[in-house]
Amino acid sequence: MQKIKFLLLFLVSIFTSGLHAQTLGVTQAENNSLQGYTFFSPFSGTKAYLIDNCGYLINKWNRGTRPGLSAYFLENGLMLRTYKPPLQGPFTSASNAGGLELVDWDNNTVWSYEFNTPTWLSHHDAVYMPNGHILVLTWDLVYSEELIELGRNPDEIAAEGYMWSERIIEIETIGNDDMNIVWQWQIKDHYIQDFDAGKLNFGTVAEHPELFNINLPKLNSNDSNSTRDWNHFNSIDYNEALDQILISVRNSDEIWILDHSTSTEEAASHSGGQYGKGGDILYRWGNAAAYDRASVSGQKLFGQHGVNWIKNGLADAGKILIYNNGNGRPGQDFSRAEILAPPQNADGGYIINGAEPYGPEEAEWTYGDQPGEFFYSPYLSNAQRLPNGNMLINAGSPGIIFEIDSDRDIVWKYIIPLNGDSPYAQGQSPINNGNFRAYKFAADYPGLAGKDLTQQSTIELGNSPVNCEIISSSFEKNNNIGIEIKYDAINKTATLVNQNNHSFDLKLFDINGRLYLSKKINGKENKIDMSAFASGIYFFRVSARNGDFFTKKLFVFDSN
C-alpha cells in the first residue's frame, strides 16, 4: 500500500510541477530502505561522493586523478583510494592504479604512495586491515624465459615477450609518503603444469587443486590486454578472524582464498601457516574446469567482481558475497548477486572430497535470475549486505545503485548523474557514469561521527520531481517555543497545542525525508488529519522566525 501511495505522489509531482520525469539521481526511496549515506567514486571522474537517501550531496572529495579503481570510506573517517598517476610501465589497462592514498574528510592527503615503475604497478583494489596495514594488488612483469622455465607453453606467451604476474603485498604506511612491505604472496610460487615434463611444476592438474595451471587462460587471437593480464585479480578482502585473504580471479572465473598467517617465506612455499599449506590456494570456487575437476558446462562464475566476506553482526555473517557479472554466460548475459557458504571445518579450513571439486554445488542465495530482477553490468560492480538486512547492489557499468529488501523488492534506487565529472540535468539519460564500487552506511557508522552532514544540493542539475528532504531524529530537542504534539490513535489525528499562540511554520516528513505537508500554524490548537497516512514513523518540524525550532518524532498507527 505504501509503495502505491508513493507512486501516486510521485506521478502527481510530475504532472503538477511541469518537471521532466525522474531519469537520474534518486528515483525510488521506500520506508524500509536503510536510512543512511551512500559512497561512490565514478570510474571516469576524479571525485568521490557521499550522498544521503534523497540524493543530496553530503561530502565531495576532489582528487584531480581518476580512481584506479577502488575507493572506500573507512571507519576511522578517512577515504582509502587507489588512483592513476602517469604510467611508467607497459601496463596498458583500464584497471591500472599505480597510486594509493588516504584522504581526510576535508580532502587533505594524509598519506600517499605510488607503486608505479617500468616493471611493477598496483591495480584494481586494496583493503585496509584492522591493524592499520593495507593489502594491495600489484602486477610484476615476468618475461618469456622465466615463463617457459615455469612450464608455460611458449606458444601461449604474449607477443611482447612478457606477461603480468600477480603479487599481493601487505604494507605499513610510514609518515605521509612512504611505506614498508611487511608480507607478500606471489602467484608464480604456486603453479602446476602438464605441458612439459622437463620444466618446473610438472604434474597432474586435477591432483593439485591448491595450485594454478600456468597454461590457463589461453591467449585469444586479438592479443588483447587479457592475454598479458592473464589472471586479472580484480578484488581483495581480508578476514581477521580466519586470517585469510579472499580474491576474485576474473580471467579464470574463480574466487580464491589464501592463508595470510604465513610468513613471506612460507607464503612462497607449500607448507606452513595456520592451515599448513603455505601460500597454496586454500579454497577456490566458480569454475572447477580451471583445475580439471569439472567440465566447462559446470562453470558458475562469469567475469565476477566485488567479492567480500559479509561482516560480523550482519545477516549471513561470514559467508561470501559475490557480484557475478555474467558476461560470457551461456545464453543471455545477465548479472546476479550471490551468497556462497563454503564447507569449512572447525578450524576454518576448507573441505574437499576426494577427486571432486570444491563445494557447494550452487550458491546459497541469488538475486537476478527471477522475473522482474534483470540487471546487467559486464564490468565493475559489487554488492553489500546492509545493517537492516537489505542488500545494496551496484551495477557498475550502467551506473545504477539500488537496494533490495528481504522480499527481493527494490526499495531505493540511484542513477549516477555524471559523465566523468560533469553533471547531467534531470530529464537526461546518462552515459559514461560507470562506478567500480558503492557502499551504504547507517547514520551511526563510526566514520561519520563528528562529521558535518549538512545537506548540499543534488549532484544532478535542476530540481528533483520528488520533493525530498532528510530530517534527523537527533533534532528532537530545543522545544523552547511552546509547542506540544499529541496523537490520537483512535481518530488518527495529531493535535499541535500552541501554548504561546504564536505563528510558526510546520513541515511534516516521513522517515525517508519526503515532505508530506507544509503549512502555517496559528491559534492555540491545530488538528492534522493522519487518516490517509500509512503506519510508520513521521517527523513534525516546527520553525519560528527567530530561528528556534522543534522536531518531534511520531509513530502513526491504528488503534486496532
For residue 526, give the CATH number of its domain.
2.60.40.3080
Contact in structure between 34 and 51 (CB atoms under 8 Å): no
Structural domains in the chain (count) = 3
Among 425, 449, 467, residue at a domain's last position: 467
Residue 163 within any structural domain of the chain = yes
Are 36 and 64 in the same domain? no
Average pLDDT of 342-351? 96
Across the range 71-89, mean pLDDT stands at 97
pLDDT in tens, 410-452: 999 999 999 999 999 988 999 999 999 999 999 999 999 999 9
Q: What was the pLDDT predicted at 161?
A: 94
DSSP string for residues in 396-456: TTTTEEEEE-TTS-EEEEEE--EETTEEPBTT----S--EEEEEEEETT-GGGTT------
Average pLDDT over residues 310-321: 97
75, 140, 137, 138: which is closest to 102 by C-alpha? 75
Are 372 and 519 in the same domain?
no
Q: Which three cell numbers stand for residue 84?
A: 592513476
* 373 in the same domain as 260: no
pLDDT in tens, 212-236: 999 998 775 444 566 799 899 999 9
How confident is the model at residue 490, as a pLDDT? 78
Claim to verify: residue 537 and residue 438 sit in the same structural domain:
no
Burial of 428 (0-12, 13-18, 19+ CB in 10 A): middle
Nearest to 283 by CA among 259, 265, 307, 302: 259
- The reply to whether 529 and 436 lie within a common domain is no
The three cell numbers of residue 513 are 525525508
Question: Looking at the domain assignment, is residue 419 inside a domain?
Answer: yes
- pLDDT given for residue 9 in this prediction: 38
Cα 467 to the center of its chain, rounded Å: 28
Cα of 229 vs its chain's centroid, Å: 24
Contacts of 315 (CB under 8 A, 6+ apart): 385, 389
Longest Cα–Cα distance of the chain, Å, equals: 96
> Is pLDDT of 31 > 60?
yes
Q: Do 377 and 438 fall into the same domain? A: yes
Q: Which of 424, 447, 467 is a domain's end point?
A: 467
The answer to whether residue 297 is domain-embedded is no
> 479 near 485, Cβ under 8 Å?
no
Query: Distance between CA 257 and CA 533 in Å, rounded?
Result: 50
Same domain, yes or no: 120 and 163: yes
Domain around 506: 473-556
Instruction: Note whether 46 and 169 are same-domain residues.
Output: no
Positive or negative torsion for Cα 394, 395, 396, 402: negative
Q: Rounded to an integer, what distance in angstroms lies between the CA atom of residue 470 and that of residue 216?
A: 51
116 and 156 belong to one structural domain: yes
Q: Is residue 64 located within the same domain as residue 202?
A: yes
Least confident of 14-18, 74-78, 319-323, 499-503: 14-18
> What distance in Å separates the CA atoms of residue 359 and residue 284, rounded to the nearest whole number?
9
How far separated are the first and last CA of the chain, in Å rounded? 18
Residues in contact with 84: Cβ distance below 8 Å, sequence separation at least 6, in sequence order: 65, 66, 67, 68, 96, 97, 98, 99
> Mean of the pLDDT values across residues 74-95?
96
> Which residues face 138 on adjacent strands?
122, 167
What is the distance between the alpha carbons of residues 245 and 125, in angstroms, rounded to a whole number? 13
Name the least confident of 194-203, 240-249, 336-345, 481-490.
481-490
Give dist(CA 180, CA 122) in Å, integer.
Answer: 15
Q: Which residue has the cell 537527533?
A: 474
378 and 520 share a domain? Answer: no
Query: Residue 464 — very low, low, confident or very high, per pLDDT cuts 50/70/90?
Result: low
Residues 217, 183: one domain? yes
